[in-house]
Structure 1
Amino acid sequence: MTTSVSLTLDGVAWQTPDGRCLFSKLNAQFDPRPTGLVGRNGVGKSVLAQIMAGLRQPSAGHCRRIGEAYYLAQQIQPRSGQRVAELAAVDKRVDALRRIEAGSTLQADFDAVGEHWTLCETLQQALADAGLHDVDADTPVDKLSGGQCMRVALVGALLQPVEWLILDEPSNHLDHAGRHWLAEQLQGRKQGLILVSHDRLLLQQVERIVELSPQGLRSYGGNHAFYAQARAAERAAADALLQQRRHERRKGEQALRDQRQRLEQRSARGNRDAANANQAPILLGLQRQRAEASLGKARAQLDQRQAQLHDAVREAQADSEAAAPVLLLPDVQSTGPEWVVRTNQLQLPYVAPALRALDFQLRRGERVAITGANGVGKSTLLKVLAGQLPALAGEVSVQVPMALLDQQLQLLPAQCSVLDTLRLRNPTLAEAELRSRLALLGLDADLVQLPSARLSGGQRLKAGLACALYADPPAQLLLLDEPGNHLDLEALAALETLLRQYQGSLLLVSHDEALLQAIGITARLHAGEDGWHWQRD
């Protein structure tokens, strides 16, 4: 392997097929330090990562890389009938090793193996370390869950003989144990590592964070804690500058109004004096032309000054963060029954026998995190509580209006606009009030008219919350399934703000411990190997 690795972006730009410029004039230098690449949804992080890996060519500029790169996409798509070795991208070397063991003397097989004579044993051990004890190179991926497939793909990425590892949202489908396993694996990596991620656990371990925004790339020499502190300071400074510019505009506009008034008065007085003067018409005409030219020049100067005041405010607004979303909360905590959910001898479908039986009661205002490994039935539980799946046996009693926001956000029909969906859920509220409430969430007049499928993940989540809480009647119980998946750091912060404001009851499936702590959970319902366990925080 090359010991000196580097990656340089020189004026890199990318245009979408319809001609929209996603980013331009990106200049940056990457060294072997573990680096997090962050930015809001839709700014082009995945496209930039693929350019850095050599999978795309930039529309302009150059990407120069010393060392080979391996890119793992955030959405892996296993093929039916595919083996684990293929999903891990080590099948050519594994198959070549087996042919050599069977007696092959082909040079192509030896070239494929290279120096990796213990790959089969290394792969098996790596799968076991990842918690995949019953999986080997020949296991069909059809037998694996989505989280298990992601672990296999990550094991393969970590085994690649490359200098650069570029991982795009690698922890999205991992459970709590999987996230910690991945963090441990990346911690020991010595070569180049670029993480496109919003996972604060992973970002806490990097040595540098690079933020992509419409203004370009900006580097922060530290982990997530350092980045968050630096961004908070920048936001405070930007907000202060914005307030200063707005104050200057108000004072400036008042001064301009006074100047315009004096100018118009002086012009009117000059016209009256000229009309009363005993001068030849030709001289009066010349005087009037000079006066009008002078007046026009003065007016243009005032207009220019006013435009400068507006430009200064717009520039400050571009640097300032958007206002935090505001949720106009219905009064849900102080009303209704004491117990909002009760189950009686409930038996869940599609889960292991040890996890079928579950009985619990949820008190009004409680915030419960549902935790456990991938595939244990957390999402199934939410669907049974919501009435979307029938229980094998037993009863579920929900005493208050509720809403399920699953990972696909089926509450929002893909081709229906947010405004139309909300209007159907609350036909009594005036459209102007609906628009006003959506605007407070950051969903402006244009966004609420678009089909929901065209909104970003963060925008759809805000819209789903609006449709749940502004319905008639409003949801007093929210069932949330991995709401933080695919959200950028800014959208995650907005989600935490919204959920902290909500005063009803929460049942929340999430592997993001930072999110759970931020919203103030009061209890955990954990799915273990021997069944469900209730833990009060």
Structure 2
Amino acid sequence: MSFSVVIDHVSYGWPDGTQVLNGLDAAFPAGRTGLIGANGSGKSTLLKLVAGELTPASGTVSVAGRVGYLPQNLPMRAELTVSDLLGISATRAALHAIESGDVREEHFTTVGDDWDVEERALGALSSLGLDGIGLDRTVATLSGGEAVMTGLAAQFLRRPDVLLLDEPTNNLDLSARRRLHAAVGAWQGVLLVVSHDRALLEQVDQIAELREGSVRVYGGNLSDYERMLEAEQQTAERLVRTAEADVRRQRRELMDARTKLDRRVRYGAKMYANKREPKIIMQARKREAQVSAGKHRIMHTEKLEEARERLSEAEQAVRDDAEIRISLPETEVPAGRMVLSFNLRGRTGMERLEVRGPERIALLGPNGSGKTTLLRAIVEAGAQVPVGYLPQRLDLLDESLSVVGNVRAHAPTASPNQVRARLARFLFRGARAEQPVGTLSGGERFRATLAALLSAEPPPQLLLLDEPTNNLDLASVRQLSQALAAYRGALIVASHDLPFLEGLGITRWLQQDRDSGLTEP
């Protein structure tokens, strides 16, 4: 198989000495590859190394052809234009100079064969749903989603041999996500995309998982990967059970052998004491018994050690992707109880949003339609029950405090043991609970924020979540779903992640639009 991207024993670390990648070997074949892994595993760093944005401390990166790279955070200086993001400003300026009568050679050199650059640029923008965006429009007037789609259009214009996308669906609304999914599905070149978007990962030809410092490629899309992984884990768990049984058997055999040998030694000592045979014969038998005992002991000990090694190898093959396990009965809201009564603008003027009992409401709408504004307004106005709010930026925690300190700030009457017990259920055990929040990875910060929010006093019986799956890896999204499954209060979730919403047991869908306000689709 020929590979389009080859990573040969690459190491990279941050200036503060933090090692991100250490001797990584990987190879990505032609086609569309989804790169997945836990937050902090080095996925974005790996893309930057392939793109040439970073230089490895050791090892080499080889790429077959020209590289296009769409980072998570595009340069968003206010003075930039759409033309600048597309990378065609110089060509356009030369083209306009020629059209105005300036026929200097340098303009023709700049234009080259790109006489139709503006038409192609507008076509690329239109294919991604950006028909109304002019080439001279400033970045300051673009939404985050429009900027991402403009950046993607720029890559299509450049026609790279290898296209790298880093979390491209973050900040995209549903319609933009669908267009990006379609564009990825139609991409004919080599594609390497870092994403937690399940729908996007269903479009790829293979999944590459970066885990514990190594990359493994699985053929097929995300569903195929999950099926293969489940089969592997079932086999691994079966091997663990077999190895555990073998260890127990070898331990019993060692004990039995020791018992038998001890009996033989005692019998030989008794015979020697009674002097029933000539001394030289008894001494010879004693030596034979000691040698035999030593050989049997060594043999059984070695078998036990071998069984333990097989068990250790089998255990390493079983993933320890820990799950959040919590019970939140204190958040329960009786069916029919009024949770929220809030005035807002609707299709026919001012309307009232009412939430009763443990309803689960999905809040949909395009970027800029006011979903975040609505959630913040509910927080400020208050509700008939305690409210918890999880903002997009996860900025609820004090960076200088430990995880324990932050949870205690939200639950001041809880004892230290109660706080630690709660944190253990959110996978913060022992020294991990003492880490300063400022040192946490993205996934850890999310779990700490969720722990503080759900541990608050009084416990929230209305939970407001604003794009909670943005920037979360697949394991963290699963952990969020587990926590929300245990939550028994009312829930309003603003999200563009349909697979995530469908897994929450949504009872009502609401659409927030700029013009018509809040409606039920």
TM bucket normalised to smaller: 0.7 to 0.9
* Matching residue of 1:468: 453
Contact in 1 for aligned 2:49/2:56 (Cα 8 Å): yes
* Matching residue of 1:192: 190
1:527 and 2:506 correspond: no
Within 5 Å, which residues of 2 pair with 1:345-494? 346=344, 357=350, 359-387=352-380, 396-494=381-479
Distance 1:53 1:6, change over 3 A: farther
Contact in 2 for aligned 1:355/1:532 (Cα 8 Å): no
Moved more, 188-197 or 65-74: 188-197
* Matching residue of 1:350: none
Tell me the distance in 2 between the aligned counterparts of 1:230 and 1:58. Answer: 32
Alpha-carbon offset, residue 36 of structure 1: 1.4
Contact in 2 for aligned 1:239/1:321 (Cα 8 Å): no
* Matching residue of 2:19: 20
1:324 and 2:310 correspond: no
For residue 67 of structure 1, give the secondary structure of its aligned residue in structure 2.
coil
Distance 1:136 1:260, change over 3 A: farther
Within 5 Å, which residues of 2 pair with 1:135-174? 135-174=133-172
* Matching residue of 2:60: 62
Within 5 Å, which residues of 2 pair with 1:15-54? 15-17=12-14, 18=17, 20=19, 22-31=21-30, 33-54=31-52
Contact in 2 for aligned 1:12/1:59 (Cα 8 Å): no
* Matching residue of 1:97: 95
Q: Which amino acid aligns with 2:182?
A: E
Contact in 2 for aligned 1:368/1:525 (Cα 8 Å): yes
5+ residue gaps in structure 2? Answer: 276-284
Distance 1:518 1:294, change over 3 A: same
Identical counterparts, % of pairs? 33
* Matching residue of 2:207: 209
Tell me the distance in 1 between the aligned counterparts of 2:418 and 2:308. Answer: 29
Moved more, 187-196 or 94-103: 94-103
Distance 1:407 1:251, change over 3 A: farther
Tell me the distance in 2 between the aligned counterparts of 1:77 and 1:302. Answer: 66
Contact in 1 for aligned 2:250/2:300 (Cα 8 Å): no
Give deviations 1:140-164, integer Å, cap 9, x for gaps: 1112222222222122122113211
Tell me the distance in 2 between the aligned counterparts of 1:406 and 1:95. Answer: 43
Tell me the distance in 1 between the aligned counterparts of 2:479 and 2:18. Answer: 31
Q: Which amino acid aligns with 1:231?
A: L
Tell me the distance in 2 between the aligned counterparts of 1:290 and 1:421. Answer: 68
Tell me the distance in 2 between the aligned counterparts of 1:450 and 1:355. Answer: 51
Alpha-carbon offset, residue 129 of structure 1: 4.0
Moved more, 481-490 or 426-435: 426-435
1:80 and 2:78 correspond: yes
Tell me the distance in 2 between the aligned counterparts of 1:74 and 1:88. Answer: 16
* Matching residue of 2:279: none
Tell me the distance in 2 between the aligned counterparts of 1:488 and 1:175. Answer: 19
Moved more, 478-487 or 260-269: 260-269
Alpha-carbon offset, residue 174 of structure 1: 0.6
Tell me the distance in 2 between the aligned counterparts of 1:294 and 1:337. Answer: 79
Tell me the distance in 2 between the aligned counterparts of 1:231 and 1:133. Answer: 42
Contact in 1 for aligned 2:4/2:190 (Cα 8 Å): no
* Matching residue of 2:280: none
Contact in 1 for aligned 2:327/2:487 (Cα 8 Å): no
Q: Which amino acid aligns with 1:494?
A: Q
Distance 1:10 1:372, change over 3 A: closer
For residue 133 of structure 2, give the secondary structure of its aligned residue in structure 1.
coil
* Matching residue of 1:393: none
Tell me the distance in 2 between the aligned counterparts of 1:292 and 1:477. Answer: 75
Moved more, 460-469 or 301-310: 301-310
Tell me the distance in 1 between the aligned counterparts of 2:78 and 2:266. Answer: 85
Tell me the distance in 1 between the aligned counterparts of 2:511 and 2:183. Answer: 25
1:342 and 2:341 correspond: yes
For residue 327 of structure 1, give the secondary structure of its aligned residue in structure 2.
coil
Distance 1:215 1:20, change over 3 A: closer
Tell me the distance in 2 between the aligned counterparts of 1:309 and 1:453. Answer: 43
> Normalized against structure 1, the TM-score is what?
0.84
Alpha-carbon offset, residue 178 of structure 1: 0.8
Moved more, 438-447 or 254-263: 254-263
Tell me the distance in 2 between the aligned counterparts of 1:512 and 1:238. Answer: 32
Give deviations 1:427-480, integer Å, cap 9, x for gaps: 444433432332233223232211223222222222222222233322222111
Contact in 1 for aligned 2:8/2:26 (Cα 8 Å): yes
Contact in 1 for aligned 2:386/2:460 (Cα 8 Å): yes
Distance 1:222 1:107, change over 3 A: farther
> Normalized against structure 2, the TM-score is what?
0.87
Tell me the distance in 2 between the aligned counterparts of 1:356 and 1:301. Answer: 86
Residue number among 500, 515, 525 corresponding to 2:485 in the alignment? 500
Alpha-carbon offset, residue 417 of structure 1: 1.7
Distance 1:340 1:293, change over 3 A: farther
Q: Considering only aligned residues, what root-mean-square deviation do their CA atoms show, in Å?
A: 3.6
* Paired residues, number: 517
Q: Which amino acid aligns with 1:407?
A: Q
For residue 204 of structure 2, give the secondary structure of its aligned residue in structure 1.
coil
Within 5 Å, which residues of 2 pair with 1:215-294? 216-256=214-254
Give deviations 1:228-265, integer Å, cap 9, x for gaps: 22222222222333333334334444554555667778
Alpha-carbon offset, residue 71 of structure 1: 0.9
Tell me the distance in 2 between the aligned counterparts of 1:430 and 1:275. Answer: 67
Alpha-carbon offset, residue 321 of structure 1: 2.3
Alpha-carbon offset, residue 514 of structure 1: 0.5
* Matching residue of 2:282: none
1:11 and 2:8 correspond: yes
For residue 193 of structure 1, give the secondary structure of its aligned residue in structure 2.
strand
Alpha-carbon offset, residue 362 of structure 1: 0.8
Moved more, 200-209 or 367-376: 200-209
Contact in 1 for aligned 2:10/2:61 (Cα 8 Å): no
Tell me the distance in 1 between the aligned counterparts of 2:102 and 2:274. Answer: 114
Tell me the distance in 2 between the aligned counterparts of 1:426 and 1:308. Answer: 50
Contact in 2 for aligned 1:355/1:530 (Cα 8 Å): no
Moved more, 426-435 or 211-220: 426-435
Moved more, 215-224 or 290-299: 290-299
Distance 1:301 1:55, change over 3 A: farther
Alpha-carbon offset, residue 305 of structure 1: 5.4
Give deviations 1:308-332, integer Å, cap 9, x for gaps: 4444344333322224321222243
Distance 1:235 1:292, change over 3 A: same
1:333 and 2:318 correspond: no
* Matching residue of 1:280: none
Distance 1:479 1:305, change over 3 A: farther
Contact in 2 for aligned 1:23/1:43 (Cα 8 Å): no
* Matching residue of 2:281: none
Q: Which amino acid aligns with 2:115?
A: W
Alpha-carbon offset, residue 73 of structure 1: 0.7
